Amino acid sequence: MAAMKTSYPILVVAGLALMNSLPGQSSGLFPLVQNPEARTEQVLDGTWDRIVDPYLTGYLSYHSEVSEWGFFRDDKAQKPSDLVEYSFADSPKLKVPGDWNTQDEQLFLYEGNVWYRRLFEVDPDSDARYFLYFGAANYEAMVFLNGRKLGQHTGGFTPFNFEVTGLLKEGRNVLVVKVDDTRKPEGVPNLITDWWNYGGITRSVRLLKTPEAFIRDYFVQLDPDHPGQLLVRAEIEGKDSAGGVRLEIPELGLEEELEVDADGRAEASLPVENVTYWTPEQPHLYEVALAAGEDRIGDQIGLRTIEVRGQDILLNGKPVFLRGVCIHEESPMDGGRVTTEDEARTLLGWAKDLNCNFVRLAHYPHNSHMTRLADRMGLLVWSEIPVYWAIQWENPETFENARSQLEEMISRDHNRASIILWSIANETPVNGPRLDFLSRLAGRAREMDPTRLITAALNAQSVEGKTLKIDDPLSAVVDVMGFNSYLGWYTRELADEFADMKWVNPYNKPLIMSEFGAGALQGYHGTKEDRWTEEFQANVYVNNLEMIRGIESLRGTSPWILKDFRSPRRMLPHIQDFWNRKGLVSDRGIRKQAFRVMREFYEEMEAEWEAKPE
């Protein structure tokens, strides 16, 4: 679909300054409930009422004060003389999950506030607990239930939930959500990104139900500090009536009672034998059951080890080469955010067709369809928070925002064996405050999850003649270095002149070429000198692959990018039209010549690495 032409002026949010006066951080939140699918009482997806509110009329008075008559009240005229200037019932609708940009041409370029309303019926149990769980809302969500503000969340790609026990009514309940996708200089990401700012409730909304005492979180992975042992952590809500936690993995013959401390936490390292390790070739998942008091919960969890030794990445103790590709979370055929498991399966299926064993989910945590399918389909994963390009490194609120998005990413997915890398940044400038900011993020990630590796996509280099030296002190902080390089594209010289470039990696660490590539309009043909042709793009790939083969510390590649994707920064008429054309596949799902070049390279690499002696 070509970029939709709006028949309306581009609506730009007025009163941007007002936005900053609103509380920007998350509040009223409950710690994330693990495995919400297993706790679901009602899925609240479907058709929601919506009111587009560019001037925050539903939240501020004409004197710009927070109004007590906001849209969260869902008021209706009670008598003919009453003045109510909005009506959810009579307003247009939006699908949830889904971005608003691709559901209504009026909203294609809209950036600002949209109100959502969902009515739902429930018959609450007095001895149960209830939570409203949001898979994600881009970028700030303020949530009201039956006219009462539950709280708000900042961050467009991670889940959040509120406890609503005792706030649900017997019968009809009114859920109202204000979503604001206005970009902010202090945001994470900030004002400028090379992807479309898809706004809205972009992932599923669920009403969760649990017993009074329940296992809020659990973490089951092989213990990196004790080979042959399983690291198990659990957190119990309402621990007093729960007693201990029971863990069962029948296929391993494991049954264990774990002690719970005064804070409701349990942690143990348990010997396990005859483990079938999770690998891309054999993505074995174990049925894991946990119980506490009357609470029972099950999950499917893969077991594998990941570590670095010098320049090698070891999966289950064996050196591995990551044959990857970068992916944005954009629907394979229609643009807009991925919302279904089928769309996720299509994207990951294309990666498999490319002969990948690895995907870089750029530049933000993708929906849980992608990570659960990667577990099942056998794809190693690089998962990333949107600390992208220029960030306000010295703003404490910005750090808190990045930290909470990191914690939410890790909390949601720390049981997914496919994820081996947590990435804390992409192409951030080299300076002191940035190094401090990212070092603290890396420390927090390691504290939460000692079982995975930390990485970031770097791009600082020094070039002298035919030698390119990686030159970024963040390299000392990460376990695995990602590096983005666009020789042959963001350079005047043609790619032919780069094949013999020599790379110097001063760090004895594994290097992943986390981005390289070029743009091409699918179906546009010419010579390798003709920019935007498939031949030009393929020639960049051929020469880049020849060059990176010579990088001694190279242990993976993830070219940019699997599929053309929408970006407000790409406006060359008839070629880009608000699409970034660096995809190996077009926005209509058609493969370009470079797809074959990349697949052949991966077939060679797979054969070479399989032939390596153990």
Name the minimum Å distance from CB 561 to ligand GCU. Answer: 7
Cα distance between residue 47 and residue 533, in whole Å: 42
CB nearer to ligand GCU: pick between 305 and 586: 586
Least distance CB 426 / ligand GCU (angstroms)? 5
Rounded least distance, CB 501 to ligand GCU, Å = 18
Enter the tokens of residue 276: 């079938």
* Binds ligand GCU by CB under 6 A, chosen from 484, 522, 544, 576: 484
Mask for 405-444, x = binds ligand GCU (CB under 6 A)? ---------------------xx-----------------
Residues paired with residue 234 on neighbouring β-strands, in sequence order:
218, 266
CB of 95 to ligand GCU, least distance (A): 27
Long-range contacts formed by 58-67: CB under 8 A, 24+ apart:
58/86, 58/113, 58/115, 58/178, 59/113, 59/142, 59/178, 60/15, 60/18, 64/15, 64/18, 64/21
Cβ-based nearer residue to ligand GCU, 214 or 524? 524
Nearest residue (CB) to ligand GCU, 111 versus 515: 515
Structural tokens at position 85: 């200037």
Q: Which of residues 193-222 bind ligand GCU (CB under 6 A)?
A: 194
Question: Rounded to the nearest 5°, which phi and psi values hold at 14?
Answer: -85, 160
Residue pair 467/502 in contact by the 8 Å Cβ criterion: yes
> If you write DSSP's letter for every residue of 344-389 in order, what string do you get?
HHHHHHHHHHTT-SEEEE-SSPPPHHHHHHHHHHT-EEEEE---BS
Separation of first and last alpha carbons in the chain:
49
Instruction: Single out the residue of 184, 369, 509, 582 in contact with ligand GCU (rule: CB under 6 A).
Output: 582
515, two tokens: 């981005």
Among candidates 423, 551, 414, 434, which has minimal Cα distance to 478?
Answer: 423
Considering the complex, state which of residue 194 and residue 587 has its C-beta at the smaller distance from ligand GCU: 194
The residue whose Cβ lies closest to ligand GCU is 194
- Toward ligand GCU, which CB reaches closer, 153 or 582? 582
The binding track of 379-408 with respect to ligand GCU, each residue x by CB under 6 A or -, is: ------------------------------
Contacts (CB under 6 A) with ligand GCU, residues 300-359: none
CB of 274 to ligand GCU, least distance (A): 43
| Least distance in angstroms from the C-beta of 450 to ligand GCU | 28
Q: Closest approach of Cβ 557 to ligand GCU, in Å?
A: 14
Q: Is 580 in the site for ligand GCU (CB under 6 A)?
A: yes
User: What minimum distance in Å lies between the beta carbon of 402 and ligand GCU?
Assistant: 17
Chain length of the chain? 614
CB 403 within 8 A of CB 422: no
Nearer to ligand GCU, 153 or 363 (CB): 363
What DSSP letter does each residue of 74-91 carry, written as one string?
A: ----SSTT------STTS
- Nearer of residues 115 and 498 to ligand GCU, judged by Cβ: 498
Q: Is 111 in the site for ligand GCU (CB under 6 A)?
A: no
- Tokens encoding 234: 């659990």
What are 208's strand-pairing partners?
A: 40, 131
DSSP H or E segment with residue 115: strand 113-122
- Candidate residues 134, 358, 560, 602; the one interacting with ligand GCU per rule CB under 6 A: 560
Cα separations in angstroms, 452 against 445, 447, 480: 9, 11, 11
Q: How far is the CB of 47 from ligand GCU (least distance, A)?
A: 33
Decide whether 330 or 427 has the Cβ nearer to ligand GCU: 427
At residue 202's C-alpha, the angle toward residues 178 and 36, to 5°, is: 100
Closest listed residue to residue 140, CA positions, set 179, 112, 177, 107: 179
Min. distance of Cβ 189 from ligand GCU in angstroms? 10
| Beta bridge mates, 376 | none
Helix axes 341-353, 368-377, angle to 10 degrees: 50
Q: Which is nearer to ligand GCU, 425 or 545 (CB)?
A: 425
Q: Which of 426/553 has CB closer to ligand GCU? A: 426
Residue closer to ligand GCU by CB (options 368, 426) is 426
| β-strand partners of 266 | 234
Which residues, at least 6 apart from 329, have a Cβ–Cβ distance to it below 8 Å?
157, 337, 338, 361, 364, 366, 367, 370
Q: Least Å distance between CB 41 and ligand GCU?
A: 39
Report the alpha-carbon distance of residue 165 to residue 18 in Å, rounded: 33
Nearer Cβ to ligand GCU, position 223 or 384?
384
Q: Which CB, 29 or 458, lies closer to ligand GCU?
A: 458
Q: Of the two residues 363 and 592, which places its CB atom closer to ligand GCU in the complex?
A: 363
Per the CB < 8 A criterion, the answer to whether 13 and 182 are in contact is yes
How many residues belong to the site for ligand GCU (CB under 6 A)? 9
Peptide bond into 573 cis (omega under 30): no
What does the block give as tokens for 403?
């930290």
Residue closer to ligand GCU, measured from CB, 414 or 582: 582
> Closest distance between ligand GCU and the C-beta of residue 211, in Å?
44
Question: How many helical (H) and strand (E) elements, i.e. helices and strands, does the chain have?
Answer: 7, 34
Residues within window 510-549 making contact with ligand GCU, judged by CB under 6 A: 515
CB of 413 to ligand GCU, least distance (A): 21
Closest C-alpha to 538, from 496, 490, 484, 580: 496
| CB of 566 vs ligand GCU, minimal distance in Å | 11
Tell me how far apart the alpha carbons of residues 41 and 542 are, in angstroms, rounded to a whole number. Answer: 52
Closest separation between CB of residue 579 and ligand GCU, Å? 11
User: Is residue 246 a contact partner of residue 268, using CB atoms and an 8 Å limit?
Assistant: no
> What residues make contact with ligand GCU under the rule CB under 6 A?
194, 363, 426-427, 484, 515, 560, 580, 582
